[in-house]
Structure 1
């Protein structure tokens, strides 16, 4: 039995040695997942920059943030430069910090009142009252669309859902960025790696 355990431990250790050369793939996967997320968010803000400023500053229907022009410029530039730097794997740890800050601002100013779920699913374990109420609204919307619309065409690209806009995605992106602060850009697959080697 001792020999079996010792052999098993040695094989596990050998596996770790072999996989060490592929540890950059995890960081690459995180980076490539986040690039389109931040690129789309940043370009959307940039293309509608005045609307972004208005939304950041208005306390009636927006976020009510102080210095909305500066905040909009900071968020837009962090997301756009973040997407480019993450794609290259350049200054990965450094750019992850302002991106986490933008996620925290989004969590606390936009998403937190809606609970956890991004998409309302009354059967999920974290369903709050707002999500539970969405089941009746979704069923009513289906009835209306089946009666008065082309329901098959409308749902041919995916199921009809209700956006809950909870913290789920923003928290997930924050955790991914936190992992990149620890991992860096990744061995062999980032400019960070090659520049630090020199």
Structure 2
């Protein structure tokens, strides 16, 4: 029995090792459109983004808002393309992780975990922070549906899916941070990134110099 477990573990380790590069490639492909879209949105609305970054009343109240807006936009948009091709993966992941942390703690933290309010979730009560606005989300959704049923074309409006309440918690930013952290730890992936081939070329050059 023990030998069977050892053999099975060996097979699984070999399979996981062979597929490691593919898993990292999939992470990069998944993150690219998400981050590129966020960056492009900031680049094309730079003044309003900077205004929101700097305004303490309805925004984040950050210092040097235009500088912060440009840095965030450039990091997300151009960094997303670098991630897609696996060029400078670990280096690019660092400012992107910082961007996710800033988003988590300055934008989403007060709303708890959930990105989309879900009355059936054990987190629907605003767990992490008992935010009354979060806790009221199911009631908000019920009220919105009631108003639409009475005054709007609710069947047409919901033909492609149900309405949801944006909870705006840290769920998405946290998920992206974890994915970026994995890329920071393991790089772009063997055989599937420019980083891999660049590293191979640099090793060859170093070997030539030694010989």
Q: Which TM-score applies when normalising by structure 2?
A: 0.88
Instruction: Provide Cα deviations, 1:45-71, integer angstroms capped at 9, x if missing partner.
Output: 011111111111111111110001110
Counterpart for residue 205 of structure 2: none
Deviation at 1:188, TM superposition (A): 1.1
Counterpart for residue 157 of structure 2: 154
Q: Does 1:186 align with 2:189?
A: yes
Instruction: Note the 1:1-198 alignment, pairs <5 A.
Output: 4-127=1-124, 128=126, 129-198=132-201
Measured in 1, the distance between the counterparts of 2:29 and 2:133 equals: 33
RMSD: 1.2
Measured in 1, the distance between the counterparts of 2:5 and 2:13 equals: 12
Deviation at 1:130, TM superposition (A): 2.7
Deviation at 1:147, TM superposition (A): 1.6
Deviation at 1:15, TM superposition (A): 3.3
- Range moving further from structure 2, 48-57 or 131-140: 131-140
Deviation at 1:22, TM superposition (A): 1.7
Measured in 2, the distance between the counterparts of 1:90 and 1:6 equals: 42
After TM superposition, the runs of 4+ consecutive aligned structure 1 residues lying more than 4 A away are: none
Measured in 2, the distance between the counterparts of 1:23 and 1:121 equals: 34
Measured in 2, the distance between the counterparts of 1:54 and 1:154 equals: 33
Deviation at 1:122, TM superposition (A): 2.4
Measured in 2, the distance between the counterparts of 1:17 and 1:107 equals: 37
Q: Which TM-score applies when normalising by structure 1?
A: 0.94
Q: Would you say the 8 A contact 1:42–1:79 is kept in 2?
A: yes
Q: What are structure 1's unaligned runs of at least 5 residues?
A: none
Q: What are structure 2's unaligned runs of at least 5 residues?
A: 127-131, 202-211
Instruction: Provide Cα deviations, 1:100-143, integer angstroms capped at 9, x if missing partner.
Output: 01111111111001111111112211221433311111111111
Measured in 1, the distance between the counterparts of 2:9 and 2:75 equals: 41
Would you say how many aligned residue pairs link Structure 1 and Structure 2? 195
